[in-house]
């Protein structure tokens, strides 16, 4: 009987691949994620190798956040106005070109911190647009009845390939020149650009005739009218500032705490992707009765505890397990936020609201700058422990103050 129940749950979860447009969407998202994780793994290490500074290494992560804060609402309007498959195709193509240009600079011996910061800025802008467009497109392709499955299964594939990309990035850093790594990272992005062109929803969009500003303000009005959504965005902002920012300091953890090389950095980075995969898989198969808002607050608290433990650990195996758990918590936070936001707003407004969600993510650079200064002054252990303590305070505040979240 248990096997029949398991098979039924599995089939109900993964039969979404019977939809042809979703298969193409999933494939293109996975290819994009491969290029993205290669980028994330190699650029931080190259900056640390060039400068030896924890602050500048964290600055790369901060630069990736800035487009969310500045362009998030604009990207949301673009998502609602223009064909989403074509938009994602152009986005992946531009990012691939940026990787190739950076590779050419390295081939020519013109590598510099500025070039890597510009690449991080382009990558951050690309990720901002992708986040604003991909999830609403998935909702269009699969329909509201399969929205949760569509979001989580897409995230599942991205996390799985992320582990491969992170490991591969570490191996490539140790074996070939950075110039060739940038060329290699551009290939899945180019493949993603091609496949995204074939993805289309089951209906056509009407072209908007209103201004970008009015559309952005319309999205803000939707958020103001739904207090639970506003609270979710505030929670996300603090989680980005003092939770996800640990990713920007993984090269410092690898070099200063664990004394391991680029292969070790690839191993550490892969841990977050592996953990993310199992976190999203658990959420995909979970059909429990706990309110998602309470679940979210519990996950944020766990995030804080794990971050404090990471700052204390000086053992590779323990640190890998902690990062895998952090990856799981991060994936659960992302997925729960996506699902809750997508279900709380009308379909025609989803892109604009996701644009403001990107603004919340963009606040992450504030935490990265603060934690980078603390890491350079007092050490990475102090920086991570302080970040974890702040997350615990945020989760406790959300639990005791905001009934809006507890009731979601």
CATH of the domain at 57: 1.20.1250.20
User: Which tokens belong to 364?
Assistant: 């992450």
Burial, 213: exposed, middle or buried (Cβ in 10 Å; 0-12, 13-18, 19+)?
A: exposed
Segment 258-266 shows an average pLDDT of 82
> Residue 181 and residue 161: Cα distance in Å, rounded?
17
Decide if pLDDT at 281 tops 70: yes
H or E stretch including 352? helix 350-362
At 161-219, the pLDDT tens digits run 877 888 888 888 888 898 999 999 999 999 999 999 888 765 555 545 566 667 667 76
- What average pLDDT does range 392-406 have in this prediction? 72
> Which of 354, 346, 348, 337 minimizes the C-alpha distance to 74?
354
Q: Does residue 385 have a pLDDT over 80?
A: yes
The percentage of residues in the chain with a pLDDT greater than 90, rounded to a whole number, is 24
The Cα–Cα gap between 56 and 244 comes to 17
The pLDDT value recorded for residue 290 is: 58
Distances (CA, A) of 113 to 101, 123, 216, 233: 15, 15, 34, 33
Query: pLDDT at position 249, please?
Result: 86
User: What does pTM read for this prediction?
Assistant: 0.73
Higher-confidence residue: 28 or 364?
28
Give the per-residue pLDDT at 103.
94
Between CA 303 and CA 305 the distance in angstroms is 6
Q: Is residue 11 part of a domain?
A: no
What confidence category does residue 9 fall into, taking pLDDT thresholds of 50, 70 and 90? very low
- pLDDT, one tens digit per residue, over 330-358 is 888 877 777 777 677 776 676 777 777 77
Is the residue at 389 inside a domain?
Answer: yes
CA atoms of 362 and 37, how far apart (whole Å): 19
SS3 109: coil
Is the confidence at residue 407, as pLDDT, over 60? no
What are the CA-CA distances from residue 338 to residues 137, 233, 304, 402 (Å)?
12, 11, 21, 20
Report pLDDT for 45: 86
How many C-beta atoms surround the C-beta of residue 404 within 10 A? 16
Residue 51 inside a domain? The answer is: yes
* Helices and strands in the chain, H and E counts: 17, 0
Residue 5 — very low, low, confident or very high, per pLDDT cuts 50/70/90? very low
Q: Which of 34-38, 142-146, 334-338 has the lowest mean pLDDT?
A: 142-146
Averaged pLDDT, 359-373: 83
Q: If we measure between CA atoms, which residue out of 148, 130, 184, 195 comes closest to residue 342?
A: 148
Confidence (pLDDT) at 144:
67
Rounded distance between C-alpha atoms, residue 354 and residue 192, angstroms: 22
* Range 143-147 average pLDDT: 70
| Predicted local distance difference test score (pLDDT) of residue 277 | 82
Q: Which residues contact 102 (CB under 8 A, 6 or more apart)?
A: 115, 116, 119, 182
- pLDDT above 90 for 261: no
For range 365-394, the mean pLDDT: 90
Element (H, E) at 243: none
Give the highest mean pLDDT range of 259-263, 310-314, 340-344.
Answer: 310-314
**Residues of the domain holding 294:** 18-200+212-406
Whether 275 has a pLDDT exceeding 80, the answer reads yes
Mean per-residue pLDDT for 92-105? Answer: 95
pLDDT of residue 214: 72
Which tokens is 76 given? 């949301």
Q: Kindly state the tokens that stand for 32.
A: 């994009």
Most confident of the ranges 27-41, 206-220, 261-275:
27-41
Number of Cβ within a 10 Å radius of residue 231: 18
Distance from C-alpha of 238 to C-alpha of 405, rounded to nearest angstrom: 15
pLDDT for the residue numbered 88: 92
Confidence at residue 180, expressed as pLDDT on a 0 to 100 scale = 94
Pairwise CA distance, residues 83 & 133, whole Å: 9
pLDDT of 221 reads 76
| Cβ-based neighbours of 241, under 8 Å, separated by 6 or more | 363, 364, 366, 367, 368, 370
DSSP string for 303-327: HHHHHHHHHH---HHHHHHHHHHHH
Q: Count the domains in the chain.
A: 1
């Amino acid at each position: 009987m248990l096997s029949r129940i398991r098979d039924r749950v599995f089939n109900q979860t993964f039969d979404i691949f019977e939809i042809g447009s979703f298969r193409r969407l999933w494939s293109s998202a996975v290819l994009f994620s491969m290029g993205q994780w290669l980028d994330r793994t190699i650029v931080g290490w190259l900056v640390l190798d060039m400068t030896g500074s924890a602050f500048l290494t964290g600055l790369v992560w901060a630069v990736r956040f800035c487009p969310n804060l500045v362009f998030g609402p604009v990207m949301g309007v673009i998502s609602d106005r223009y064909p989403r498959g074509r938009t994602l195709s152009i986005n992946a193509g531009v990012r691939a070109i940026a990787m190739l240009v950076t590779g050419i600079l390295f081939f020519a011996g013109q590598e510099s911190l500025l070039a890597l910061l510009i690449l991080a800025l382009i990558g951050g802008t690309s990720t901002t647009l992708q986040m604003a467009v991909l999830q609403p497109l998935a909702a269009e392709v699969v329909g509201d009845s399969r929205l949760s499955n569509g979001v989580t299964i897409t995230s599942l594939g991205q996390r799985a390939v992320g582990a491969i990309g992170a490991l591969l990035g570490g191996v490539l850093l140790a074996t070939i020149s950075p110039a060739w790594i940038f060329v290699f990272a551009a290939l899945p992005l180019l493949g993603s650009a091609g496949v995204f062109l074939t993805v289309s929803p089951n209906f056509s969009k009407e072209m908007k005739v209103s201004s970008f500003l009015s559309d952005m303000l319309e999205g803000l009005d939707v958020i103001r009218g739904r207090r639970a959504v506003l609270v979710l965005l505030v929670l996300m902002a603090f989680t980005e500032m003092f939770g996800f920012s640990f990713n920007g300091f993984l090269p410092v953890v690898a070099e200063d705490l664990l004394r391991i090389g680029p292969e070790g950095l690839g191993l550490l980075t892969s841990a977050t992707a592996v953990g993310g995969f199992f976190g999203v898989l658990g959420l995909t198969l979970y059909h429990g009765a706990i309110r998602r808002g309470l679940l979210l607050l519990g996950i944020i608290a766990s995030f804080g505890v794990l971050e404090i433990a990471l700052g204390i650990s000086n053992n590779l195996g323990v640190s890998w397990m902690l990062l895998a758990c952090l990856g799981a918590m991060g994936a659960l936070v992302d997925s729960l936020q996506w699902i809750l936001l997508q279900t709380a707003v009308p379909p025609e407004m989803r892109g604009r609201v996701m644009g403001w969600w990107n603004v919340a993510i963009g606040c992450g650079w504030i935490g990265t700058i603060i934690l980078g200064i603390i890491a350079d002054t007092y050490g990475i252990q102090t920086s991570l422990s302080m970040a974890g303590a702040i997350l615990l305070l945020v989760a406790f505040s959300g639990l005791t103050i905001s009934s809006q979240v507890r009731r979601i």
